Structure 1
Amino acid sequence: MLWIILAIIVFIVAATLLLFRLEDLSHLDQDDYPVRDGKPSDANREVLGRIRELGQSSKGLRGKARLMALRKHMDELSQGLELASEFRHCESPRGEWVIAPGCDTRRRILYIHGGAWAAGSPRSHRAITDRLSQITRAAVFALDYRLMPENRFMDGVRDCREAYTWLLKHGPESPESAGFMVVAGDSAGGSHTLGLIAWIRDNGLRQADAAITFSPSTDLTLTAPSNRNNIETDPLLGPAFGGLSKIPLPVIWWATLAAFRVSPASPVASPLRGDLRDLPPTLIQASDTEMLLDNARRYASKAQAAGSPVTLHTWPGMVHVWQIFVPLLPEAEEAFQDIKSFLEQVESGSRMHPEGQT
């Protein structure tokens, strides 16, 4: 019996090493990225209260009931906000157009919402998409991609790819080629965003002019230090995922493979572990206290080393994806002004070097 147990252990270890062949990326943790000066504004206390409400909304619930409560609470985030844009449902691809007054519909943004690939919707992220349309004068398409667990992870990935391909030639009014294209997303949607721009490059499509991500998940192997070091300082992800720090990483990898049907070492699920050459100008915003901080840092470091123009801007003491609390949070307003400046620089560079556009 002992020999059988030992043989099983050896087999599991060998299979783990073979299937999850991970490059050690700890050398990317050496870069010292600056953090903006200042402390969280007074409005941050109200934001933290809303985060606690989110946790209370599913307290005591389990399984599907817990997930449904989370989805409902997220969809209610946009209630009561004064939004300037028109919201227009689209059935194929499924999502909604967000059109601010005076925008140019040849300017387009594909927005991919977060929610751990299992929650969130175009409605939950209207504060973000409305503001993006206003500051960029672009028509934003908020994609309603298929969520887990009802669907497979790769179904959502395919929805992102199909939506981008469609947006290149379709606006909110009629078929029309895009003049300026941006892909943006937060958290899990940030992961889809970064995976998508690599897929665009590899498949010879017209590349996005720019990409924007808020607190993106870049590596499902959970090997970055902040995944554990920032559990206590992350009021959103800490309570939800901090318990994973007590589970051995190989167990998490096998569980992720079972749930996602994709290896956590795959670039589709972990964009950090893919080829980061020849990517478009990309802006990443993150908080220095969130669990995904080093996901952002590692991605920026590796992409920059590969020659891709990736910029990371870090705010002090913000909650995960604080941009969704615009206009309540001054730091969210700052983040959108940062985006506006970034895109203005991208477009200015494009006008100076038109031969670089495809």
Structure 2
Amino acid sequence: MMLWIAVLLLALVLMVIAATALLFRTEDLSHLDSTDYPVREATPNDGHQQVLGRLRELGEASRGLKGKARLMALRRHMDGLSEGITLASEFRHNDEPRGEWVLAPGVDSRRRVLYIHGGAWAAGSPRSHRAITDAFSRLANAAVFAVDYRLMPEHRYMDGVRDCRKAYTWMLDNGPDGHERADFVVVAGDSAGGSHTLGLLAWVRDNGIRQADAAVALSPSTDLTLTAPSNRDNIQTDPLLGPVFGGLAKVPLPVIWWGTLAAFRVSPTNPVASPLRGSLANLPPTLIHVSASEMLLDNARRYAAKAASEGSKVTLHTWPGMVHVWHIFTDLLPEANDAFEDIQAFLEDLESHRTEQTAPCVDDSASTPRPTA
């Protein structure tokens, strides 16, 4: 009897191993880690300690709570991140698609940014990220649409993906004052929203839709397989993601993959959830920001290296010692303002090159005197 039980258990283990290999066929991307990306020379200022205090408050807001109560406490705390900060923009609610327009004074409404917030696909909102969307509207001289996509676990992961796709196609032909075709389009997002941003670019390309002119991804998640070295090596130096996700380092990767499949109903190897795992050819110019001390460092590096190998222009800028998505702390970190200046320079440089390429050639042969015979 015991022998039969052992045989059955062995057969079950072999079946799980075979199913794992079949469902989660992962290409080894370690060769992308050989690309060397420079890190800016800078030392975090005193405001960094205040930011760490904010992150401790974030953890304390849900301490002792479990399940839905814990998640709701986290959401409430995140929604308060931009409170108390002086913001120059008008925030205008939009019902369908759900979200809000962010309008800095005097912006050109034909220039548009779709912003996709972070929050591990389970938290965050347009309200929580107003410090970022306010800055984007000013630096891009554009109307920003912050999409309020559906969150897990109340909704499926793909519901949020579809909301972002719908918001993008709608925004191409609709501005804050109604039907108006966009002249210049940027897609931007942070963390989980950065993943949605990069995945959206590939979907737009594959469906023949008018592509964005540029994209910006802040500390993006690019690969849910968690195979990049920094996913484990930077746990101790990441004060935001480390305490939340660091425990996963003790869990075998196949177990994490099955858990991700169960929660997301999408395989972690699917490019919809892991943009790094799909084709990165023929994508618009993209700027990625990441901190050298965060867990998602190598996710960004691998994406930039693979995109370059497939012919897409991705610029990666790395800050030392910053917290995950430090851009949201505009009231405390000069580095956040430095990052926004870098984004502005990226967009201005891109547009100047576009202008040069589309400038008409002047044929002055008619006005040039012909030599006499």
TM interval, short-chain normalised? over 0.9
CA contact (8 A) 1:327 1:333 kept: no
Could you list the structure 1 runs, at least 4 aligned residues long, displaced by more than 3 angstroms after superposition: none
Q: Which residue of 2 aligns with 1:280?
A: 284
Q: Which residue of 1 aligns with 2:163?
A: 159
CA contact (8 A) 1:39 1:316 kept: yes
What per-residue deviation string (whole Å, max 9, x for no partner) do you get for residues 253-310 of structure 1? 0000000000000000000000000000000000000000000000000001111000
CA distance in 2, matches of 1:121, 1:34: 32
Q: CA offset at residue 33 of structure 1?
A: 0.6
> Within the alignment, does 1:64 sit opposite 2:68 as a pair?
yes
> Within the alignment, does 1:36 sit opposite 2:31 as a pair?
no
Q: Which residue of 1 aligns with 2:91?
A: 87
CA distance in 2, matches of 1:29, 1:177: 41
**Aligned match for 1:291, one of 290, 295, 298:** 295
Q: CA offset at residue 251 of structure 1?
A: 0.2
What per-residue deviation string (whole Å, max 9, x for no partner) do you get for residues 116-163 of structure 1? 000000000000000110111100000000000000000000000000
CA distance in 2, matches of 1:344, 1:196: 23
**Aligned match for 2:181, one of 160, 174, 177:** 177
Q: Which residue of 1 aligns with 2:236?
A: 232
Question: SS at the partner of 2:175?
Answer: coil
| TM alignment of 1:200-215, pairs within 5 A | 200-215=204-219
> Within the alignment, does 1:112 sit opposite 2:116 as a pair?
yes
**Aligned match for 1:219, one of 223, 247, 262:** 223
* Structure 1 alignment gaps of length 5 or more: none
CA contact (8 A) 1:100 1:133 kept: yes
CA distance in 1, matches of 2:312, 2:297: 20
Question: SS at the partner of 2:245?
Answer: helix
CA contact (8 A) 1:113 1:185 kept: yes
- Higher CA-based Rg: 2
What per-residue deviation string (whole Å, max 9, x for no partner) do you get for residues 96-119 of structure 1? 000000100000000000000000
Q: Which residue of 2 aligns with 1:123?
A: 127
Residue type matched to 2:292 in 1?
D
CA distance in 2, matches of 1:198, 1:186: 17
Residue type matched to 2:208 in 1?
G
The 10-residue stretch of structure 1 (282-291 or 37-46) with the greater mean CA deviation from structure 2: 37-46
**Aligned match for 1:336, one of 326, 340, 344:** 340
CA distance in 1, matches of 2:87, 2:144: 14
Question: SS at the partner of 1:77?
Answer: coil
Q: Which residue of 2 aligns with 1:100?
A: 104
> Within the alignment, does 1:248 sit opposite 2:252 as a pair?
yes
Residue type matched to 1:129 in 2?
T
Q: Which residue of 1 aligns with 2:79?
A: 75
Q: Which residue of 2 aligns with 1:198?
A: 202
Q: Which residue of 1 aligns with 2:148?
A: 144
CA contact (8 A) 1:118 1:149 kept: yes
CA distance in 2, matches of 1:61, 1:252: 24
Residue type matched to 1:279 in 2?
L
Name the Cα RMSD after superposition: 0.7
Question: SS at the partner of 1:78?
Answer: coil
How many residues are matched?
Answer: 355
Identity of aligned residues (%): 71
The TM-score normalised by the length of structure 1 is: 0.98
Question: SS at the partner of 1:168?
Answer: helix
What per-residue deviation string (whole Å, max 9, x for no partner) do you get for residues 44-84 of structure 1? 11111101110111111111111000000000111111110
CA distance in 1, matches of 2:229, 2:353: 35
